[in-house]
Amino acid sequence: MPELPEVETIRRGLAPVLTGARLARVTARRPDLRFPLPHRFAERMTGVRIEALDRRAKYLLARLDQGETFVAHLGMSGRFEIADAGGSNGAGRFARAVAPDPRHAHVVFETEAGARVTFYDPRRFGYMALVPTAALGEHPWFRGLGPEPLGPGFDGELLECALAGRRAPIKTALLDQRLVAGLGNIYVCEALHRARLAPDRAAGSIPRRRLARLAQAIKSVLEEAIEAGGSTLRDYASAEGGLGYFQHSFAVYGRAGEPCLRRGCGGAIRRSVQSGRSTFACDRCQA
């Protein structure tokens, strides 16, 4: 599920339950996800207090009171579910497209206040770590990570520097987390369509004026998706982190063969493959 907006939505959903909470019990129901869980993971997590929940790129960060930061990446299919002290969650009160399969409940966090947060991940591409907070920036997952697209200073000039000399297609370049952090396949396709840029253009050859428009498109699509995720949160009372309502707002992603939604364009969305991944774009209004 998760690109930057989904991880941010999950963070906002978990924050009320976990910020300031002390963990009474942590259960790892298997020894590994994509990578082995940290050494003595459950023991090291038990009794800690979570001082703050943050996000960097697609990573969820829980700053702990003992000097370490818990890091989680949700891979392709990871999700967190919140249950309150009574054990109920959104599923009992609201319709849900896909109920979590208990076979894939890999890690359970229980707070002293009686809340339970469960990590589900059928494909197990997700991963977790405990990293000394002071050295977080030097960790391989974070060293070399590009700028936050919603951070200060993200504009056409910054993109121009990041993309200088790149011959890779702009679509592929934007997926490179070293250049920009947090974008994934969906929002790259959506941002390129908003900016009217063709996905196969060489990244390093796009003039700054158009990169300014691209930077603005990236910001607006991410902000709108987070906003839509917020409405999902309100409805589900959970940190499910699915695509929420924003999936109904995709202009190109998953719309192969359908008409381009840009006013007056009249083109059709075409699916292609770049670096082994689906790209959706309108050949008529993206150039």
Site string for DNA, 56-75 (x = CB under 7 A): -xx--------------x-x
| Contacting residue, 31, 86, 140, 207, with DNA by CB under 7 A | 140
Residue 100 DSSP code:
P
Q: How far apart are CA 197 and CA 199, in angstroms?
A: 6
**Catalytic positions:** 2-3, 58, 277
Q: Is 199 in the site for DNA (CB under 7 A)?
A: no
Question: Where are the strands (E) in 84-138, listed by range?
Answer: 105-111, 116-120, 127-132
Q: What is the full DSSP assignment across 43-71?
A: HHHTT-BEEEEEEETTEEEEEETTSEEEE
Strands 269-274 and 277-282: antiparallel
- CB-CB contact of 38 with 52 (8 Å): no
| Contacting residue, 133, 177, 216, 272, with DNA by CB under 7 A | 177
- CB-CB contact of 206 with 163 (8 Å): yes
| Contacting residue, 12, 34, 213, 284, with DNA by CB under 7 A | 34
Q: Is 226 in the site for DNA (CB under 7 A)?
A: no
Strands 277-282 and 105-111: unpaired
Closer residue to DNA in complex, CB, 110/240? 240
Q: Is 38 in the site for DNA (CB under 7 A)?
A: no
Q: Is 142 in the site for DNA (CB under 7 A)?
A: no
Q: Segment contacting DNA (CB under 7 A): 20-28, 45-53, 151-159, 162-170? A: 162-170
- CB-CB contact of 75 with 34 (8 Å): yes
Count, residues near DNA per rule CB under 7 A: 42
Specify which residues 27 forms β-bridges with: 108
Q: Is 245 in the site for DNA (CB under 7 A)?
A: no
Q: Is 101 in the site for DNA (CB under 7 A)?
A: yes
Binding site for DNA (CB under 7 A): 1-3, 6, 34, 57-58, 73, 75-77, 98, 101, 103-104, 122-125, 140-141, 165-169, 172-173, 175-177, 184-186, 203, 242-243, 247, 275-278
